[in-house]
Amino acid sequence: MNFTTLNIKGLIKSLLLRKFTTGLLILQLAITLGLLVNSAILAFDTREKMSQPTGLDDENILIVSTHPTSGSYRDLDYYRSIVNEDLAKLNQLPGVNSVSITNQLPIRGRGMLSNTHDIDNPEQEKTDKYLQDVKYTLADENLAEAMGFTIVEGRFLNESDELDFDSEAKNNIVITESLKKGLYGDESAVGRETNNGIIVGVIKDIMLDPTLPRDKQYGLFMNTMMKYIFIGRFYVLNVEPGQMANVRNQVTDTILAVQAERDIFDIFTMSEHLKSFYRDDQGLSDLFLLLCGLMLFVTAISSYAYSQFHISRQKKFIGIRRALGARKKDILLYVLTENWLVYSIGCLLGVFVAIGFNILLSQHISLSKPDMMLFVLATAVIFISGTVATWFPAYHTSNISPVIATRTV
């Protein structure tokens, strides 16, 4: 009798004799593989999102969120004077290259929006839905330098573009490159007029709203921050490399020294702002990875218990094999192969479970589709953990002598 040749039919019959426990382990393996695959996808997707270029000088941008608490700020001229003094004092800090103020930040969903179209072609909004909600940012002439914008056509806003309440001049605006393409294709946009103003410049796309496609980062900027200063909440500081910690420590005292009756809500870098935006994605990814670890641990314990229990009930069969000349490695291979067969069935079923999980999760969050390499890697992880868990009872069984084993006959 050749004990190195395993009887697959015999293994299947053996498994069918314990359908319930085998079925439970197969189901557990399938769910584990489904979680592993989708957790890996979620982790890779989150990492990819956070590594996308923002078009900004992320590491060297410091944001200060502040709001007045004094009734004196109801006087618009007073408000403006304090803000101008803030900007001047912040600009004098060692390590600060440039300071600006804005009403809203990039890397945020929604916000202050406006429909936008060429003044002579209002039908554009019907053919491109993204033109109906263009991010509308109030700025001053220093925002391009503070944020690290790249000018691709024309110029950025300057002091001559600033408008006040009594101005009858048309707005001069700067738009993002994707908005320019959405409005005018490959043609020049400088000098063109939209319903929001005359275009004087185009900047390279920045990540305005990460929930939108990369080629739909539609945004426009106009120099009306001082006109609507009461909604301006963010000071933007461009800091020299290596000076961020030093500048950050001085910002609060500098601002409150100008006027103490206000709240400093938060101080953060643009990199921290990006991480904050994806905080929920990262948290969900970490939760899924934790669940995967727990499922692998539980599955390994289940595999050990499954093997230990059923090996103890097969001592008669194993004893007969040993008495007929089966070597230790034959018994070890038999036990491991029986578990590999269970794992193969479980992982095959897990492919469908993973696809089902992916479809369900995609209805609630943005999730990539699984690929073959992920299935292979997840299957390998499950097989390795299962083999390690099964090895001890299998090795222990292979050491049973034929005499002791056949006493159960």
Same domain, 47 and 190: no
> What is residue 266's predicted lDDT score, i.e. its pLDDT?
92
Is residue 269 assigned to a domain? no
Instruction: Tell me: pLDDT of 260 over 80.
Output: yes
Q: Is the dihedral of CA 201, 206, 208, 211 positive or negative?
A: positive
Q: Greater confidence, 310 or 48? A: 48
Same domain, 100 and 166: yes
26: domain range?
A: 8-52+279-408
Candidate from 28-32, 232-236, 281-285 with smallest mean pLDDT: 281-285
Residue at a domain's end among 199, 226, 260: 260
- Model confidence over 166-190: pLDDT tens digits? 777 788 999 999 999 999 999 999 9
Instruction: Tell me: pLDDT of 135 over 70.
Output: yes
Retrieve residue 320's tokens: 């007969």
Is residue 284 assigned to a domain? yes
Same domain, 244 and 307: no
Same domain, 129 and 223: yes
Same domain, 253 and 311: no
Residue at a domain's end among 229, 260, 291: 260
Same domain, 284 and 151: no
Element (H, E) at 250: helix 244-258
Is residue 112 assigned to a domain? yes
SS3 61: strand
Is residue 184 assigned to a domain? yes
According to DSSP, residue 118 is labeled: B
Percent of the chain with pLDDT over 90: 44
Is residue 120 assigned to a domain? yes
Q: Greater confidence, 101 or 307? A: 101
Pairing mode, strands 172-176 and 61-68 = unpaired
Same domain, 230 and 361: no
What ranges make up the beta strands (E) of 177-248?
Answer: 193-194, 197-203, 219-222, 234-239
> What is residue 387's predicted lDDT score, i.e. its pLDDT?
80
How many other CB atoms sit within 10 Å of the CB of residue 369? 10
Same domain, 185 and 328: no
Residue carrying structure tokens 């890779």: 44
The number of folded domains in the chain is 2
Residue at a domain's end among 260, 290, 307: 260
HEC profile of 266-305: EEEEHHHHHHHHCHHHHHHHHHHHHHHHHHHHHHHHHHHH
Element (H, E) at 263: strand 262-269
Rg (CA), the chain: 33
CA count, 13 A, side-chain hemisphere, 81 = 8
Is residue 267 assigned to a domain? no
The residues that bridge with 49 in the sheet, in sequence order, are none
> What is residue 278's predicted lDDT score, i.e. its pLDDT?
87
> What is residue 317's predicted lDDT score, i.e. its pLDDT?
60
SS3 99: strand
Is residue 232 assigned to a domain? yes
For residues 128 and 303, give the distance between their C-alpha atoms in angstroms, rounded to a whole number: 56
For residues 37 and 28, give the distance between their C-alpha atoms in angstroms, rounded to a whole number: 14
Same domain, 106 and 241: yes
- Backbone φ and ψ for 220, nearest 5 degrees, come out as -135, 150
Q: Greater confidence, 366 or 253? A: 253
How distant, in Å, are the alpha carbons of 60, 260, 276, 323 from that of 271? 9, 28, 9, 69
Instruction: Tell me: pLDDT of 258 over 90.
Output: yes
How many other CB atoms sit within 10 Å of the CB of residue 198? 16
Same domain, 111 and 237: yes
Same domain, 297 and 372: yes
Average pLDDT, integer, range 314-325: 55
- Model confidence over 272-317: pLDDT tens digits? 999 888 888 888 888 888 888 888 888 878 777 776 666 665 655 6
> What is residue 280's predicted lDDT score, i.e. its pLDDT?
82
Contact assessment for residue 217 and residue 208, using Cβ atoms and an 8 Å cutoff: yes
For residues 254 and 236, give the distance between their C-alpha atoms in angstroms, rounded to a whole number: 14
Same domain, 329 and 402: yes
Is residue 274 assigned to a domain? no
For residues 129 and 180, give the distance between their C-alpha atoms in angstroms, rounded to a whole number: 15
CA count, 13 A, side-chain hemisphere, 388 = 10
